Chains A and B, each alone.
Chain A
Amino acid sequence: MESAADVSSPPRDGQSFRRRLIGFIAIGEVGVLAAMALLIVFFWLLEPAFLSERNIRAILNVVSFVGIIAIGQTILLVAGEFDLSVGSVAGLSAVVAAKLMTAAALPVTVAILGGIGVGAAIGLLNGVIVVRLGIPAFIQTLGMLFIGQGLIQVVTGGYPVYPLPEAINAIGGADLAFGLGWSFAFFIVATVVADFVLRRTVLGRNIYATGGNQEVARLVGINTSAYKIGAFIVVGALAAIAGMFVMADLGSGGTSIGSGWELTVIAGVVVGGVSLFGGAGTVAGGVVGILMLKVVQSGLVVIGVNSNWQQIAVGVIMVMAVGLDIVRRRYFIAGA
């Protein structure tokens, strides 16, 4: 609504302007939310147990782990790169932290910081190699996926690290509200913070510019290399944190933590309207996309669909979501 009154009241006007600006970037969220609501109703009608407290809790718990990584992956995708090594990094950071607090007998806090350090260091390495050496992110992070998997075996010798100190089990077993623990709390706080940073801050706008056209961003004085490397570090650190939350949840440093997550995360955020080509999408959208994927997976389990078909459904949904997004954008451009 454009009117003279709007211009005379700058604060409200500023808010609505910001909202519409966000609308331009985040045209995908509402559609994904609507689709998800439909799916929830669909699964609930077929099987009311889908909306049981236990099932909702289970979905939210799983989303909190993968969602933490999705936050970082969204930021990195908006900056114009992506990371396939997040699953390996999550697993490696978890087993390194587990080894530090058991075999090395370091205090739990130090061991956790060590785990985060491993994730951040791998992110830095990925970022520097992609940005400075110009090796495509696809190759570099795919390589890092294998390296990470190998290192997990090297660190653990193939056996899960068990038992872990009591403090870790306490983190994993905590019940803050509705049976959800620290991982969910961290996931919510990180989502809110990251979403705010991308939407509202100069930093966030510069990330959109970097992902939209790196050369333009450089010409307007943005240090695009630093932004990209920074985004890689954030992804690595968040993957490490997610991995350690899973470790706490399981009560052991398992060697399969994070295995296969990289594709789930990318599929989820893409469903949520984050562009694979950079410069478009929001953290809220990416997180909603992950939630929708998990709703579908869980719903298919609850209504008793064969697990092979669940995978097929995930694939179909991802392609459809991107297809719809492309159609909508085309309409948006043609109809404007």
Chain B
Amino acid sequence: MPNAAQEPLLSAAAIAKSFGGVQALRGVDFDVVPGEIHALLGQNGAGKSTLVKILNGVHPAGSYTGVIKLDGRPVSFASPADARSNGVGYVPQEIEVLEQLSVAENVFAGHTGLGDGFMVHQRRLQQRAGEIFADLGIGIDPRAYVASLTSAQRHLVMIARAIVMRPRVLMLDEPTASLSGTEVDALFSVLRRLKTQGVAMIYITHRLPEVLAICDRATVLRDGQVAVRIAREDFDAETFIFSMSGQRLQRLFPEHAAPVGAPTALEVRNLTVAGHSGAVHGAKDINLSVAAGEIVGLAGLLGSGRSEILHGIYGRVPAEGKIRVAGDPVAIGSPKDARAAGISLLTEDRKRDGLLFNLPVGANITIGNLAPLARRGVVRGGLERSSILAAMRALNVKASSPLASVTHLSGGNQQKLLFARVLMRAPKVLLLDEPTKGVDAATRHEIYRLVVELAEKGVALLIVASELEELIGLCDRCLVLADGRVVDEFGRGEGGEDRVLRSVAAAQAERHVRASQVSP
């Protein structure tokens, strides 16, 4: 336990920063002491990222007001490299790796010469990277090419890259966004080890259970100001939610009961999807059905084949098997076929396969849905605008106008925009891949309510989410996946997060036993 009276290693006082007239930070005081994991919480747009970017030199000295002190001495970082050389490391939320290089080269990116000259010493790099991985308990071969790694493994490589510099202050921005349960545990043990070494850590997250699990102190930002500072003794999920949103959210999940005797909306028989890159399992011989108005969740670890099932049903990747929508067999060879059959998909990665950054908010909503808004192939401007405005109102998309750029929207608003896009066709079956990833707490609840509303209108929903609490709270029925197969199924109230984890562990143990029986 860090001593509260300890001198702060890094401190910021009265930090203020504005972007083109918009005040992002209005006088924030913040500090972190050695051996402490300090949670930085707040909704999207509360100012967390701005604060971290200032502490890390992305926004250079002079572009903000206020004082930053390291070891009690004022410092002004001109760039992230400057901050790094002063012992302030940063692991960004987005994965930034050099795919064509090896893991070791990525870990030492920028200083592959290891300080003595011009040449790259591959063997020494690999050896040093191996030592660091062993120290952190990371099981990745330093010689592997990063292109072959899963996104979770890539994130661990990025963390290793920051740790290599032996930072005294380490900032982690949503480090678990792409990690599954066991990988989070591995990361936490790394962080605990760094803590014993006296590293001061700033931990940005939307996931409150992680704050409760690992953090020593929490600072909640709201509207560019510190809303509250909470010591570990006073940690409580309700308090966090209250201080982040400014209102007490009574119940986390809206009520919903599985429909009784509703017709089957989606039926999947023997669905098989090929896996890729070794670590990600495909789906093997999956059978499932979703009734109209039912919310079904797919639980499992990252790479267990959850997303692949959705992609297979939607025709995004080649798949074998039979699919029926409302009883009628449909042949799905492409997303176009799936949409024609009344199936919509909300993808996981907004930046990579969700938003069109070259088109404004409005056109992002109507893209793919223009046929009813056009006469003989010519888009009717007035009709398009009115349907965009209706969709934005219905989903509470906050943008200055339909012509605003999607780049400026917060993660939550971007996600609601994409919901507006997939809902414009009034799908019978809705596939949601991580529908609340990277959105703030308030939007998260709007999305929960939306999901339940859609179910009440008779839409069949199939949801993938990494947060088990969310999945179990929201879904009428959960299927548990391990290595591309369904290993357990339970209804609302029949199990919790522990049941999912036990089922997965049992399936993996069984596979292990079988594997050892086959090989002599």
Contact = CB atoms under 8 A, between A and B. Distances in A.
Interface string B330-368: 000011100110000101000011111111101100111
Nearest to B383: A14
Interface string B364-397: 0011111100100111111111100000000000
B370 A202 contact: yes
Given A14-B380, A21-B362, A202-B379, A216 B355 contact: yes
A233 to B, nearest CB: 18
Contacts of B336: 221-223
Contact of B358 (A18, A20, A280): A280
A179 to B, nearest CB: 35
Nearest to B362: A21
Interface residues of A, number: 41
B356 A222 contact: no
Interface stretch (B116-124, B197-205, B400-408): B400-408
Interface string A3-23: 000000011011101101101
B353 A279 contact: no
Contacts of A335: 20
A333 B404 CA distance: 10
B316 interface: yes
Contacts of A278: 358
Contacts of B316: 218-219
A336 interface: yes
Interface stretch (A31-39, A84-92, A205-213): A205-213
Contact of B382 (A17, A25, A223): A17
A201 B379 contact: yes
A18 B384 CA distance: 9
A206, A211, A216, most chain B CB atoms within 10 A: A216
Contact of B356 (A14, A20, A212): A212
Given A2-B401, A333-B407, A220 B358 contact: no
Interface string A276-296: 001110000000000000000
A177 interface: no
Nearest to B352: A215
Contacts of B477: none
Given A21-B363, A212-B359, A201 B377 contact: yes
A312 B427 CA distance: 57
Interface of A: 2, 10-11, 13-15, 17-18, 20-21, 23-25, 200-203, 205-206, 208-209, 211-213, 215-223, 275, 278-280, 333-336
17 contacts: A11-B382, A14-B381, A17-B384, A18-B379, A200-B378, A200-B379, A202-B379, A205-B370, A212-B357, A212-B358, A213-B358, A216-B367, A219-B347, A219-B353, A220-B421, A221-B368, A335-B20
Given A14-B384, A24-B403, 8 more contacts: A205-B366, A206-B367, A213-B353, A213-B357, A213-B358, A220-B367, A220-B368, A223-B336
List the 3 closest pairs (A to B, CB-CB), nearest first.
A14-B382, A220-B368, A14-B381
